[in-house]
Structure 1
Amino acid sequence: MNGLYALKPWYAARLAGVRGALVRREVSPDTLTVLGVVCAGGAAAALAWLPAPLAVLPVAVLLAARLAFANLDGALARDTGRTTPRGALLNELGDRAADLVVLAGFLTLAPLWLVALAALGATLPSWVSLAGAAAGAPRRNGGPVGKTERVLLAVVAAATGWAVPVLAVIAAGSALTALVRIGQLWKELGS
């Protein structure tokens, strides 16, 4: 079950021209990782301070850029032969930071406990994937509520003001995604 993650090859193909321009300009993949977190911060600020539906355009644009940077940083590193363990670490930390920063934008819209629960839930699928990779399994991505779905849900909240239901879906859906990944890994690593 890959969810919207199944669109990644299509999306990466759309970014090929941008990737080529970044290669020619010798942009560092780490710069793109940091820019993704900055875009997440901008989206969080718009979500927190602009009322729905005025927040939808800046949140959607900034989160689309966040996903683009998340796609481009690793691709650029591979294209230029600049993959490094430190770059991989920065990429993982940047992805987690961007997720948590976006969810922090909900602090003005929903109870702290629910934002914290959604933040915990949003990190669970990555913990499972990284644990599986550490055990020798291929990295798991996607799921019922993976990174791309969380971005889409934040845009829905920006458009509608439905912060509480969106956070509940993020929390529950992310936990379900983690369970699905655990089941896949358990089966794969047991054989």
Structure 2
Amino acid sequence: MNGSPGSSGGPAGLGLYALKPWYARRLSGVRGALARRAVSPDALTAAGVVCAAGAAAALAWLPAPLAALPVALLLLARLACANLDGALARDTGRSTRRGALVNELGDRVADLAVLAGFLPLAPLWLVAAAALAATLPSWVSLAGAAAGAPRLNGGPVGKTERCALVIVAAASGWAVPVLAVIAVGSALTAAVRCARLWGELGSR
């Protein structure tokens, strides 16, 4: 989610991102409670980063499958924060350009923090490759939005799918295969988004 105006726009995309409207409805009561308590959207963005770091710590320090439950709960909380921060900003009239910047930086830091949990479990080069690839879809979407296209989200391996794959690694101990899927899938997702944007912008 984005803390800026227009952040809710753009196609839903492929993959688990299509469940976002359903998930947002489940969180509507929480969003209302946060609005009544005047919670800052930026605080939710920061909470998402903390949850991501906690998931990374659980992944790194707990053996599989004991890591699965805490990793899953913390990543669900991280996704909830990502959903709530922008929605809360819009609901309370606090959408700002600075909020958009904080949101984007928070999302990227959270993505990298989660993958840092693989550092004790897999070769450094593979963790670095997965981390780099995981940022590519967002950079493509941001470039498209800067050019005037709708913001693209979703898979085949977007943020939600990456979280699901990390949970698989926490449950199974398959760190190397999961990182390989994240790296290849994220690069594929960036390519899919780029192709969609190329077609969208070419018609303008």
TM-score (norm 1): 0.99
| Deviation of 1:143 (Å) | 1.6
2:26 to 4, 8, 14: 14
Partners in 1 of 2:39 and 2:67 — Cα distance? 30
**Equivalence for 1:162:** 174
Give 1:69's aligned amino acid: C
**Equivalence for 2:90:** 78
SS at match of 1:82: coil
Partners in 2 of 1:176 and 1:67 — Cα distance? 22
Partners in 1 of 2:34 and 2:181 — Cα distance? 36
**Equivalence for 2:10:** none
Partners in 2 of 1:119 and 1:86 — Cα distance? 25
Partners in 2 of 1:152 and 1:68 — Cα distance? 14
Once the two structures are superposed, residues 133-183 of structure 1 have per-residue CA deviations (whole angstroms, 9 ceiling, x without a partner) of 000001000020000000000000000000000000000000000000000
**Equivalence for 1:88:** 100
**Greater helix share, 1 or 2?**
1
For structure 1, the 5+ residue unaligned runs are none
2:136 to 114, 124, 142: 124
SS at match of 1:177: helix
Partners in 1 of 2:114 and 2:78 — Cα distance? 10
SS at match of 1:83: coil
Q: Tell whether 2:32 aligns with 1:25.
A: no
Counterparts of 1:36-185 in structure 2, within 5 Å, are: 36-185=48-197
Cα root mean square deviation, aligned? 0.5
Partners in 2 of 1:8 and 1:143 — Cα distance? 12
TM-score (norm 2): 0.93
**Equivalence for 1:34:** 46
For structure 2, the 5+ residue unaligned runs are 1-12
Which stretches of structure 1, 4 residues or longer, exceed 4 Å deviation after superposition? none
SS at match of 2:56: helix
Once the two structures are superposed, residues 38-65 of structure 1 have per-residue CA deviations (whole angstroms, 9 ceiling, x without a partner) of 0000000000000000100110000000
Once the two structures are superposed, residues 8-61 of structure 1 have per-residue CA deviations (whole angstroms, 9 ceiling, x without a partner) of 000000000000000000000000000000000000000000000010011000
Partners in 2 of 1:136 and 1:9 — Cα distance? 24
Give 2:85's aligned amino acid: D
Give 1:106's aligned amino acid: F
**Equivalence for 2:7:** none
SS at match of 2:117: helix
Partners in 2 of 1:143 and 1:49 — Cα distance? 29
SS at match of 2:66: coil
Partners in 1 of 2:106 and 2:15 — Cα distance? 22
Give 1:137's aligned amino acid: A
